[in-house]
Structure 1
Amino acid sequence: MTNPYGGDYPPYQPGPNPYGASVPGAVRAPYDGLSIAALVCSLTCCAAPVGIGLGIAGIVRTSGVRRSGRWAAVTGLVVGLLVLLAAIGFVVFAGVMGSRTVWEDEARVGQCIDVDFLGDPIKASCVDPHAGEVIWTGTFDADLLGVFDDVSVAEFCHGLPGLAPDYAAAIRSGDYDVRVETDSFDEDEPESGDAFFCYVERSDGEDLTGRLADRAEQESA
């Protein structure tokens, strides 16, 4: 077509598509492998630190338009950080709980204890109100296993050799409930060599104050 104002029309040159559609023949940026790996690793507890590192590397590698998959790198970094913080919190919590737990092979007679939300005995100060007091510690042997299977917990602990008279009197009074803690896999079926301890709690559910032996001495004075 001839331009009525003189000269020819300039040749048609397509510009950017205003509607965002892809231009035929355009090459899409490839997905970044590190970004995808960051996302996968961040979902695994043990590999969360690796996911964090890969996420940072993926963010750098997907800057600009060189590679796609930036969303995976960012998600992997964020999820990896959250998983790592949760793992650290769990380790700290487990360490604190472990340090407070009264282990069967470490308990001592006269030790005051409380009970945590899992029902496990934990260390307590005898000066403050507490749930119970350890009255005997030892390990199961064939003779004790035979008695343990035939009598109640109160009778079993009351008949243990070397039980202090004050603790025996507390059991006979009926004012205290008697419990047994053992390190056996099945507490109802202990085996020879398993460590255990007996402890008492008030039957009315109230806390103890001070040690039973100290209270007995004060009452007899």
Structure 2
Amino acid sequence: MTNPYGGDYPPYQPGSNPYDGAYPGTSRAPYDGLSIAALVCSLTCCAAPVGIGLGVAGILRTRQGARSGRWAAVTGLVVGIVVTVAAVAFLAFAVVMGSRTVWERDAEVGQCIDIDFLDDPIKASCAEPHAGEVIWVGRFDSALADRFDDVSRAEFCAGLPGLEATYRSAIESGDYFVRVESDSLDESEPKRGDDFFCHLERRDGKKLVGRIGDDLGTEGA
């Protein structure tokens, strides 16, 4: 086709028209949905591993500008790794602590215990310095639950049926602090059927070595 003003029209160059493929001022590359999904999933504990996989996929899909959203893919990958590692570490910590905790149903009379940073009783060796000793294990009935509210912890545990004379003497001596651990939702108001145990700790804060009543049981380092 001849240009009436002289010369030929220049050949058409794809992309020379500013309106080809997109409106002016908009990105030509579509946004990558996987990259956004990676970012969203990485922010949740359970879905963080999924966010890692989606983040890798998003990085591959957005390379060389094929799609927008690379920042979301990279962020989702990094955050997903951090959250996953933290979740695994917390789970491992919970398993270890759970295995060491002295639970009300599993406690045994004469069992030696320590107290962890959460103020919970944990298993300890009687041959090593330890915080206390379990003296009675049982379950609240209606009478015990009512009595628990009316007397001190020392009186409550000293009056439990079947308590060994050695432990009763230890309570009456005043040298030991008496604690009660229960699986009640509110430990100050136990209900019938709740498991519990009593244990003693030295009032002077010293550690026990051996068992209460033994030659080694009344002095601690």
Where 1:135 maps in the other structure, the secondary structure is strand
Using the alignment, how far apart are the partners of 1:61 and 1:193 within structure 2?
A: 59
1:157 maps to which residue? 157
Where 1:160 maps in the other structure, the secondary structure is coil
Q: Does 1:100 align with 2:100?
A: yes
CA deviation after TM superposition for structure 1 residue 46, in Å: 1.1
Structure 2: stretches of 5+ with no match in the other structure:
1-6, 11-16, 23-27
**Aligned amino acid, residue 94 of structure 2:** A
State the TM-score, normalizing by the size of structure 2.
0.85
Using the alignment, how far apart are the partners of 2:47 and 2:217 within structure 1?
A: 59
1:4 maps to which residue? none
Using the alignment, how far apart are the partners of 2:217 and 2:203 within structure 1?
A: 21
**Aligned amino acid, residue 84 of structure 2:** L
**Cα-to-partner distance string for 1:40-95 (whole Å, 9 max, x where unaligned):** 11111111111111111111111112112111111101100111111111110100
Structure 1: stretches of 5+ with no match in the other structure:
1-7, 12-22
Alpha carbons of structure 1 residues 216 and 53: separation in structure 2 relative to 1, 3 Å = closer
- Is this contact kept in 2: 1:31–1:69, CA < 8 A? yes
Using the alignment, how far apart are the partners of 1:131 and 1:95 within structure 2?
A: 22
CA deviation after TM superposition for structure 1 residue 142, in Å: 1.4
**Cα-to-partner distance string for 1:143-182 (whole Å, 9 max, x where unaligned):** 2122212111101100111111111110111100100000
- Is this contact kept in 2: 1:42–1:52, CA < 8 A? yes
Where 2:166 maps in the other structure, the secondary structure is helix
- CA RMSD for the aligned pairs? 2.0
Using the alignment, how far apart are the partners of 1:62 and 1:142 within structure 2?
A: 67
1:121 maps to which residue? 121
Q: Does 1:177 align with 2:177?
A: yes
CA deviation after TM superposition for structure 1 residue 31, in Å: 1.2
CA deviation after TM superposition for structure 1 residue 25, in Å: 4.3
State the TM-score, normalizing by the size of structure 1.
0.85
Q: Does 1:68 align with 2:55?
A: no
1:167 maps to which residue? 167
1:140 maps to which residue? 140
2:3 maps to which residue? none
Q: Identity over aligned residues, as a percent?
A: 69
Using the alignment, how far apart are the partners of 1:102 and 1:47 within structure 2?
A: 33
Using the alignment, how far apart are the partners of 1:73 and 1:176 within structure 2?
A: 60
- Is this contact kept in 2: 1:166–1:216, CA < 8 A? no
Using the alignment, how far apart are the partners of 1:216 and 1:174 within structure 2?
A: 18
Using the alignment, how far apart are the partners of 1:42 and 1:117 within structure 2?
A: 31
**Aligned amino acid, residue 161 of structure 2:** P
Using the alignment, how far apart are the partners of 1:102 and 1:57 within structure 2?
A: 46
**Aligned amino acid, residue 145 of structure 2:** L
- Is this contact kept in 2: 1:42–1:49, CA < 8 A? yes
- Is this contact kept in 2: 1:153–1:180, CA < 8 A? yes
1:1-221 equivalences under 5 Å are 24-25=18-19, 27=22, 28-215=28-215
